[in-house]
Amino acid sequence: MKVSSLEEAKVWYLNPMRFMQLVLATTMLLSVTYMWQFTKEVTTTTENRDTTAAKTAETTLTVHIDRTRAHTYYVIRGFEEAHKFVREYDVETMGPLFFLFTSDMDANGTYWFNPCQMVKTAVLAGFKRAPRRSRLLEIQVGSEAYWNDFMNPFRQNQLFYIDYLPTLMRYDGGGNSSALLAGPHCLNQDLLDVVFKVSKSVAHKNRIINFDNARQVMDFLASYDFSYPLFLFFVSGVHHFNNRLWCPFCDKAELPVTHLFNSTAPDNAVLLRIVVAREPRQWYEEDNDFVGDEFSDKVVMFDGVPFVGFVDRNRTNNKIQVNEFTIGVDQHEKLQNFFRQKAPGMVDVPAAV
């Protein structure tokens, strides 16, 4: 019995080597089990995530973050989601916000309105120069049929109120926006720098003077001596609900005209920016002074805005003669050449005999 007990004790005795072997085996088993559970969990999570994304593709907000510049670029689809995003956005605390309106994409990632891709590439390049903490929100407006319905909310709602694709603008908060660029204007990197508030040194010292009264304009021109280049820019007033020009064509022309004047015209040049009516109904009234006989005789006759003109001198009677820029303002080089014109020269007064 004693011998048997000793043998039994010897069988169950764990020496240090045996103990380490058991510990190693247990560790390996636990490791394999953990790795299997981890792989299963990751795979399941990825599958669930893909399924969820596929189900909510219509409303998902895609986010791209550039940490080196502290920039964020969002892509969102549909009016409701875009409106909610902007309504909850605080420019003061969250940083500058810009909108880029584009058409929807098809399953292959192609915009149904092709110019949107070219503009998007240019805008993203310009956005890299924007101030830190800036955010760019690309808003895809829907299908071609939806966009072509003039009653769709992107065209009618006061927050966005656009009528052209692609369109870029700056959000100023409180429902207001500014610095709108549309179509080919969005391809001009200098204009994009204005929208994105890229800090640059001022190259010229020319001036823009604002008027909203026909009598003020006539009095100014009555004293004009042709000694400096003088340009006229007639535009509409602004909507009270978003602070953008109520004339959509003026809204598109405002930034290109004023910036290209500032960056191109001689230092002594002056641009009179003239608001013809605060509200649309005032423009169509028969007694609007800007379309009256006196203004037409003393300044210029015109019947629509925007209007860009150069004040020249009639060499026959030495009266002012306004030459209109009749080419589209999206022809930037031609508009710059227009703004490079020199002063007509002072009137030659015959010497007394």
Least confident of 43-52, 212-221, 302-311: 43-52
Q: Considering 146, 172, 195, which residue would you say is the last residue of a domain? A: 195
pLDDT mean over 35-64 = 46
How many domains does the structure of the chain reveal?
Answer: 2
Q: Does one domain contain both 98 and 217? A: no
Q: Does one domain contain both 109 and 226? A: no
- State the pLDDT at residue 53: 36
Q: Does one domain contain both 180 and 228? A: no
Residue 53 resides in a domain: no
Q: Does one domain contain both 157 and 244? A: no
pLDDT mean over 142-159 = 96
Q: Considering 195, 220, 242, which residue would you say is the last residue of a domain? A: 195
pLDDT mean over 78-98 = 96
Tell me: the pLDDT tens digits for 273-327? 999 999 999 998 888 999 999 999 999 999 999 999 999 999 888 899 999 999 9
Residue 179 resides in a domain: yes
Residue 20 resides in a domain: no
- State the pLDDT at residue 68: 82
Residue 284 resides in a domain: yes
Tell me: the pLDDT tens digits for 244-278? 999 999 999 999 999 999 999 999 999 999 999 99
Q: Does one domain contain both 86 and 169? A: yes
Q: Considering 167, 195, 223, which residue would you say is the last residue of a domain? A: 195
Q: Does one domain contain both 255 and 291? A: yes
Residue 12 resides in a domain: no
Q: What is the 3-state secondary structure (H, E, C) of the chain?
A: CHHHHHHHHHHHCCCHHHHHHHHHHHHHHHHHHHHHHHHHHHHHHHHHHHHHHHHCCCCCCEEEEECCCCEEEEEEECHHHHHHHHHCCCHHHHCCEEEEEECCECCCCCECCCHHHHHHHHHHHHHCCCCCCCEEEEEECCCHHHHHCCCCHHHHCCCCCCCCCCEEEEEEECCEEEEEEEHHHHHCHHHHHHHCCCCCCCCCCCEEEEECCHHHHHHHHHCCCCCCCEEEEEECCECCCCCCECCHHHHHHHHHHHHHHHHHCCCCCEEEEEECCCCHHHHCCCCCHHHCHHHHHHCCCCCCCCEEEEEEECCCCCCEEEEECCCCCCCHHHHHHHHCCCCCCCCCCCCCC
Residue 174 resides in a domain: yes
Q: Does one domain contain both 334 and 293? A: yes
pLDDT mean over 100-123 = 96
Residue 290 resides in a domain: yes
CATH of the domain at 152: 3.40.30.10
What is the pLDDT confidence band of residue 88, given thresholds at 50, 70 and 90? Answer: very high
Q: Does one domain contain both 241 and 313? A: yes
Residue ranges making up the domain that contains 224: 207-339
Q: Does one domain contain both 227 and 311? A: yes
Q: Does one domain contain both 123 and 234? A: no
Q: Does one domain contain both 79 and 133? A: yes
Residue 33 resides in a domain: no
- State the pLDDT at residue 287: 87
Q: Does one domain contain both 264 and 187? A: no
